[in-house]
Each structure stands twice: as C-alpha cells, then as structure tokens.
A and B are shown apart, each in its own frame.
Chain A
Amino acid sequence: MPEISEVPELDSSKISDNASKAPPRPEFDPKIMRKTKPGLKRLFLTHSVLFSFLLGFPFLWKSVEIYRSPLPFREIDSLSTHLRSNTLLFPLHFHAIFIGFDSDADRLRYSILSEISKLTSQNLKCFNNYSLSVTVDSGSRCLRAPITSPHSCPYQCGSITAIDFDPVDDVAVDERLGSVFGRKIKEYSVVVVKGENERAVVGKYRHAWMVVGGGMEVEMAAMKVAEVLVKVFVNGGREEGSIRTEFMPVGADGNIVLSFNLLNADPRDWVYDWDFQKIDETLLAPMIGALGPVANISVESQVLYHTPKASFSYWNQKLESHVFSTKDLPFFVNSNEWHLDTSIAAGGRSKILQFVVYVPSAKECPLLLQLPNGEISKTNGFISPMWGGVMVWNPQSCLKNSENKTTARHAIPLQDLENMFEVFIGQFRQLFGFRSVNVYAGGSGIWNLVPSERGFTEWELDVLSRQHTCFNLHSCATTLASLSRLVQSLPRMIIMDEIGKQVKYSLEAAKLAQSNASIGGYGFSTTSSRQARSLAEDAFFHPSIMSVSYYSFEHCFAVYSPFFLPVSMHVVLAALRELKRYKQEKAKYLAWKAKANASS
C-alpha cells in the first residue's frame, strides 16, 4: 500500500520540479487527487471472498440443524382434557325381575334408582351411566318399567318360576338362568323370587338371584337388589369404587410373567418335584385365556434347593406343629437365599409375579400359619401386593428318611398339587383386588358367589376390563402430556421418527379404546387401551431422550465461533476497507478531473 501511493507522489514531485520553470499548472495535491482511474481488482478480490462466505452460510446453518419429528401436541392436549372432563362412560344396563310379587313396577324402579345413586361414589375417574328396567311377574300379569325396553332380548314373562330355584344346587340354577337370559348378553340381571329357603347367590355369568321368604317387604328386596348391582356388579366386591394402583399388577408394556417356584428348604431331608406341565395345561391355561384382553400373561417355573426362610417359628404342643404368626409374614421371604428373579422371559417393563411353594425342612415340619385370632390358616398362604404370593406345603408325613443316606426324591401328589393351585388362583385374584373367599358380605345381607373354572367369572372380567381401561387411558394421557412438556422444554433435542410414530399410534389406540368403551365392547376397549399405554410408555422411555446428550445453543456457538468468527471479521473488515479506499480514490480522481477541466 505505501509503495503504490508513493509512485504518484514521486511522479508529481518530479512534475512539480519541472513545472517550476514551465507556466503554472493547476495545483496537484496528491492527498486529494489522483490522475488515473482507480482499479477494481482489489475490490473484486475482497468482495468475492466475502460473497463466498455469505454463500456458504446457509449450508452451515442447515448442517447444524437438529431433526425434530413433529409431535401432535394439540391432539395430546385434547386427549388429556377429554379424559379429565369425565366423558369416558361405560354404558351399563341393569334388569331387575320380581317374581311372585305384586307391586307397581314404576315405583320399584324409582326406589332402586335412588338407592343406586346413593351408593355410587362421586369422585371417580371414569363414570358409568346406568339404565335400569324392572319387570314384575306375578303369574297373572306382567308389568314392565319402562314400558319400551331398549334391549335386544326382553325377558319373556313366565319363563322362570319359583320351582327353578333349588336351594342346594347353585350351579344348576345358574345354568338354567343362563339359558333364559343368554350367556353373552351384556346386561346385568337380578331375579327376586318368593320361596321357602332364603338364599342370595351371584352366578358365574351376569345374573344374580335372591330367594326371599314370605315376610320380606318388597322395598327391602329392592334395597338388596340395588346393593348387589352397585357393590358387586359394578365395583367387584370392593368397598370403594376407585382404583387402587397396588392392585394393578400389569406391567407398562402390558405383560405379566407368572413365575412359579418350588422351594426345598433343606434338600438333605427330602427333595420334592412337581409335574408343572400338566397343571399348566389344565388349570392355568383357561385363566390365562380369560385374562387375555387385560394382560398378556406368560408362565415360567423353577425348582430351587437350599432355601431356608428368614423368620422364626416355634413349637406349639397343642397343635403338635411348628407355628409362625402373621407378624412374621413380612420377614418370611428370605431374599438373600431365594434367587427368584432369574426370569429370562421378562422384558424390562414387564411385571413379574412370584408364586412360591415352600417345603419346610424336617426340623420345622409341619409348619402352620396362625392367625391373630388363634385359628390356623386353611391355606397357609399370604400375598404381598405387586410382588406375588407364598404358600407353605407340608409333606405328607414329616418323618425323615434316615435309614439310607441318599436323599429321597418325591413328587408332589396330584391332588395336593391341585389344591395348591387353587390357592394360587385365589392369590392371583387377591393380587387383582378381588377376594379369595366366595362370599360377599354387604350391608343388607350375604351373597354367595359361584366360582368359575376360569378363575374369574364373567362379571368379574367386566369389572377388570372397565377398571383397566380407565386406568390405562389415564396413564396414557398423563404420559403423553409429560412427554410433550419435556420435548417442548428441550428445544435442541433430537426427536427421532420412531417416537413420533409411537405417539401417533398411541393416540389412535386411545381413540379406538374410547369409542369401543362407549358402545360397551369391553374386550376390545381393554386391548386397545393396553396398547395405547404401552406405546406411550415406549415413547416416553425412548433411550434417546437424555438431556445430557444434547448441547445448548451456547455450546454450539462456542464450538463454531473460533473457526468462523475471527476469519469472517477480517474478511468483512477488509471488504469494508477496500470499499472505503475505492471511494476515496474515486473522489480524488474526480477532484483532479474537475480541477483539470476547470483550469483548461
């Protein structure tokens, strides 16, 4: 730069020297004038570099952009608000039939409805809407309320009489009523009939019956009808209708693994084995099939040895056995020695329920459980919610085979095995919140419950379906809401396509479940709600959503700025400087030209 500007100076100084003799030329001030037009090369060079930088900038921006799959935030919000406003309704149809009575059907209907509304609690997550129809069949005439019954199969008057109700054989009565009402119909019926032996039974399907004596008022019968409808058919025999999460042992991916363990406490005394395969096929398979919509159940079994228990028992002379009490139950499971959790079938989000048969050693045989009221337990078993159940089985004779040194290997007799599995099914029902006794003791009387070969009666499966659908849908909605809040709070986190797909399918399944629930399709709605929950959990627990792995904007800036910022600063400044210089030189040239024109 200095060299170039020097040249005109020299020239002009020579010229001014020569010009001292010549006539006075116009004053040439090299600071503000120049004789030649300024060139564009320098300007072109610097601006082309600047232009290439500017051209490359959009490519850089695109390369550091993060991919976020678009999530349907509005639909997630609408699902949450939809569920919160309690619009999830299951339609329930009740039918009460009074045989041998002679009263006004409308009045009875009104009193039963008012009793039902009194018994239903209001703070539930999922409501049910009821419709009740009452039929009074007094032999001669048949009254119905309401007159037009909306259901498909109305009851034919006179098809049930008092002689159908055998007080001894409940199963036969149940079958008879089932053939009258139809087994697949989704309506809950209660039959009240006048007879000699008072008895109240709830059947395996969806009907119950009550034989009342002659002295009972029809109003009392109506109260009892309302109670069985609400407490048994709707709530499943539980006190409150709300859902307690410790009796929902279904895993987040909709799977349950039942792990059956046979524990030999001291194999030196005796070793017991069992024929699990046969029992699985005959006893467990129907129950697993019945619970198909609620959970996907798989079964495993193992036999363990050298597994002493952790609590103590004492010898009771009167009972001639070793006794442990309910206070010891929390310490019974010896988790250090009992290696129960060795399942290979269970995925990360499945629920494992352990069912343990404990065969005590010869030192503690027979081992009985004593209840706080002094009685001995009939089942010798207990459950722990969300964990599983334990049962103690004592060998037939507690005599140790001390003659020969080899350990005696026995198989558990089939009859004992069947009894054992009956206890297990009772425990499984307890883990789902039902009682293991076949009696419901309500405020106005006792109802006997007919057991089913599949472990759960039809109405119990309905209760499970309704509760699990409700729970799954609410869980799905809260999970998706948490996910959307999380994703919106981390604007620079990559959201993979897989997450977007899972959210979409989850929302579709939730919509399907809601529509199925409103028309009363219990099985389909439970399956869809289970899928919705499982997909929502998969999306929320996707391993790529870790905030530690994603860099904030400041980090990105700090990484790229040492590369580009100093260089770009220089380039920009050089371009500006060249522009300024060009303008200056141009101004100088123009000034000289003007002066030359003015002087000549």
Chain B
Amino acid sequence: MATFINSKTIFRLLVLPCLLLYSSIAHNSSSVEATMHTNNWAVLVCTSRFWFNYRHMANTLSLYRTVKRLGIPDERIILMLADDMACNTRNKYPAQVFNNENHRLNLYGDNVEVDYRGYEVTVENFLRVLTGRHETSVPRSKRLLSDEGSHILLYMTGHGGDEFLKFQDSEELQSHDLADAVKQMKEKLRFKELLIMVDTCQAATLFNQLQSPGVLAIGSSMRGENSYSHHLDSDVGVSVVDRFTYYTLAFFERLNIYDNASLSSLFSSYNPSMLMSTAYCRRDLYQRRLEEVPVTNFFGSVMETIHTDAAYKALSRKDSGRFKAQMSLDQSVHHHERRTLINVNDQDEILNTKAEDQQGASTCPFTSFYEKLRKGENVDSLVNYGLVAMLPLLGVSSWLFQ
C-alpha cells in the first residue's frame, strides 16, 4: 500500500511539470479563440410520477446528492421532480426516500432544493429551461443562467422508447425537440460542453438527431433494449434504484472532490452483463478524447481563480505626494496546475460506437420498405402522400354507399 502511494506520487511529480509546460504552451497558442471553462451546471430531470416509479425519483435524488457533494452548489443545479414519493400515503417511511434496501442513506433528508415540482415538470418547461425563454416573472433560481464557459450536465430518467421520452404520463419529449433545443443553446453560446446522461429504456435513440458540436451523450441502453431496475426493496414495496444509475453512483462513491478520474474510466465501468443492457456513448460530436477529460469537468465544481496583486490605491490620498510604484511584477495569472489523470479501472473500454451497420441486407421488399420508413428522412412527404391518398378513398366510399 505504501509503495503504491509512493509510486503514484512520483508519477505525479514527474508528469506534473510536463503537463504544466504543455498546458501553458497550449494556453498561449490557443488563448485567443478558446473560452475559459468558468463554471459547471447540472439539470436533473425525473420525468415520472406515481408511486410505482419510485426508483426514478431515487435515481435523480441520488445524482443530485453526488453532484452537490462534488461541489456544484444549489444555485447552479436545476432539479425537476414530480416529488410525490416522500409524502405519498403509500410510503411506509414518511419523508424519507431511499436508493438502497439497506436504508443507509435518506436521500430526502436535508438541503434538497427542488426547482420544478409536481405538475410543473412538463416538456414545455423543460425546453424553456434549456433555451432560456422564460416569462419575465420567472425567478433566477428557476433559470439556467449559463454562459459561454459553462459545462452542463443534463441527466434524465424515466420511461422512454424509440426516439422519445415520456413526461409525467401525459406528454412526450421527442428526439428532434431535444436536438432542436440543443442547437438553439449552441447558437446562443449557452454552453461550452454538454454531457447528456439518460437512464430509460432505449435511451440511445434519444440522441439520434443531435448535431451540435461539444455534446457528449451517454445512454443506458440501445434501441430495442430495456433498462432494468437494480433491486426490489421488499420493505418499501417497490424497486428503489435503476441499474445504470446504481453503477454510476458506485463509481462516484469512490471519488472525492480532489480526485481526477477520467470520463473514459466512468464509461468503462459499465458492464453489460451487470447492467443487462448495453450502455452507449455518442462521442462523434465531442472533440476531446475521453481519457483526457476528468469527471469533475462535469460532475464537480471548478473555479478559475486569479490572485489580486494589489489594491487600487487612488482613493485614500492621505500622503498625496508619494506615489509608490508597485514593483511586484510576478505573473498575475495563476491558473492552478493541471492535474494528472489516472484511470480508476484498468479494464479495456467496453465501448459501443454508434452502430450504423444494418446487418443482413434482406431481400424481402417489405423489410426494405420498412427500413426506409424507419430511416424516416422524407417523413413529411410520406405524410403528405398519405393525406392525398385519403381523398380518393373517401370519394370511392361515398360513391359506393350513395
């Protein structure tokens, strides 16, 4: 154990100056164009209500706790919950929400600040949060006040399907709506990088229409697969956590605020046999390599700090004649040193790139027609054809039954 720590520190000592040099060079060369990463935001959405969807609220609250523990403050978290579990009449433990059957952690215990609760969690409000188009009376705590240097974590959980996500049993969020909102966010420079994590059935289909650069998307299952819950709590009576979120939380429980595990180690910790689904990561829109990105870029807090060298001494002019020149000319910009990145797990990446292969070119014309329909490029013209075809059908039927 001691030797392991020593070798780690030696490794850090050796790599640190090289990285510092590299980062300073990179900073100097690209300082004109690249914006500084100034803050982190988190938008956590639970799209289900009713008692039997307990696990979705537990998922969202667990991630909320994790993100707060790693440093993102409440003023930069937008939490959207139906919030009908803790005080539900069917809850045997009133005002308590658990994510494990050992009941060790009460997620609803203290300091939970829900921004959109109950019936306010709608597709329209969600899209308004993302695009920033609120009425003037909406308070600042309910707005996403990010800027060009923000990294945003967007986590959604609930019931979903092929290219949609169900909101509170009454409406749907479609993949093209989400892609459109992200495109408008990018045009208005409301984020520098965006990480979308979705824990629903067929989660990967929700990212099909995304096109904006700087977006990284992680889904818990591929098309045609379901995402399963982890275990049933026989005391509470319902499943209390989903598998994907359970393993994500297990990864983060091992981290603290000073750690620097990378995103690729997070993703490689997902084991398809344990998840019972294939976790999917869409990285073609994201320019950086996942091994270089620490998870605290999205899940923790970051504050770029610059030391103030001197006070501006024009105001108290008691001895007006003496103007002492401040000779402290040290570099006033102290960016804190780049930290080394270590992989928490040394397994190989279990990565599934976006599968574009349509295996087995089938010769049956119906399946080829079905494939064309599924690709859905000319959906509009198809619908128009259908409508026009309705007219002669009507004519024929009324002629026959005259």
Residues of A that sit less than 8 Å from B by CB: 123, 168-171, 240, 242, 244-246, 283, 326-327, 329-333, 335-336, 340-341, 343, 346-348, 369, 371-373, 377-379, 381-387, 389, 391, 415, 418-419, 421-423, 425-427, 429-430, 435-439, 441, 448, 450-453, 455, 479, 482, 486, 540-543, 545-549, 554, 557, 561, 565-566, 569-570, 573, 577
Contacts and interface: CB of A to CB of B under 8 A. Distances in A.
29 contacts: A171-B321, A244-B35, A245-B147, A326-B305, A329-B305, A335-B75, A335-B301, A371-B330, A378-B311, A387-B303, A391-B308, A419-B311, A419-B316, A421-B315, A422-B314, A426-B309, A436-B309, A438-B325, A452-B314, A541-B131, A541-B134, A543-B134, A545-B133, A546-B128, A549-B124, A554-B380, A561-B390, A569-B398, A570-B398
Given A371-B307, A384-B303, 5 more contacts: A244-B36, A378-B309, A381-B308, A382-B307, A448-B323
Is chain A's binding surface mostly helix, strand, loop or mixed? mixed
Nearest to A240: B32
A165 to B, nearest CB: 14
Contact of B312 (A340, A425, A565): A425
Interface centre among B123, B133, B309 (most CB of A within 10 A): B309
Q: Counting chain B CB atoms within 10 Å of each CB, which of A245, A348, A569 scores highest? A: A348
A333 B147 CA distance: 20
A379 B310 contact: yes
A438 B307 CA distance: 15
A507 to B, nearest CB: 19
B308 A386 contact: no
B288 to A, nearest CB: 19
Interface string B139-180: 011010101110000000000000000000000000001001
B330 A326 contact: no
Contacts of B132: 541
Contacts of A385: 36, 38, 304, 306
Interface residues of B, number: 79
B378 interface: no
A329 B303 contact: yes
Given A283-B315, A418-B316, A565-B394, A246 B149 contact: yes
A171 B314 CA distance: 11
A436 B311 contact: yes
A240 B320 CA distance: 34
B133 A543 contact: yes
Interface in B178-204: 180, 184, 187-188
B313 interface: yes
B128 A372 contact: no
B310 A378 contact: yes
Interface of B: 31-32, 35-36, 38-39, 68, 71-76, 111, 123-124, 127-128, 131-136, 138, 140-141, 143, 145, 147-149, 177, 180, 184, 187-188, 257, 301-316, 320-323, 325-330, 332, 334, 336-337, 380, 383-384, 387, 390-391, 394-395, 398-399, 402
Contacts of A244: 31, 35-36
A383 B305 contact: yes
Given A347-B136, A438-B325, A547-B180, A386 B312 contact: no
B330 A546 contact: no
A436 B310 contact: yes
Nearest to A452: B314
A479 to B, nearest CB: 7
Contacts of A540: 188
B298 to A, nearest CB: 16
Contacts of A479: 188
A144 B140 CA distance: 59
B311 A379 contact: yes
A378 B328 CA distance: 10
A541 B124 contact: no
Contacts of B32: 123, 240, 242
Contacts of A570: 398
Contacts of A331: 71, 257, 301, 303
A448 B111 contact: no
Nearest to A169: B321
A453 B127 contact: no
B311 A348 contact: no
B312 A426 contact: yes
A427 B307 CA distance: 9
B153 to A, nearest CB: 16
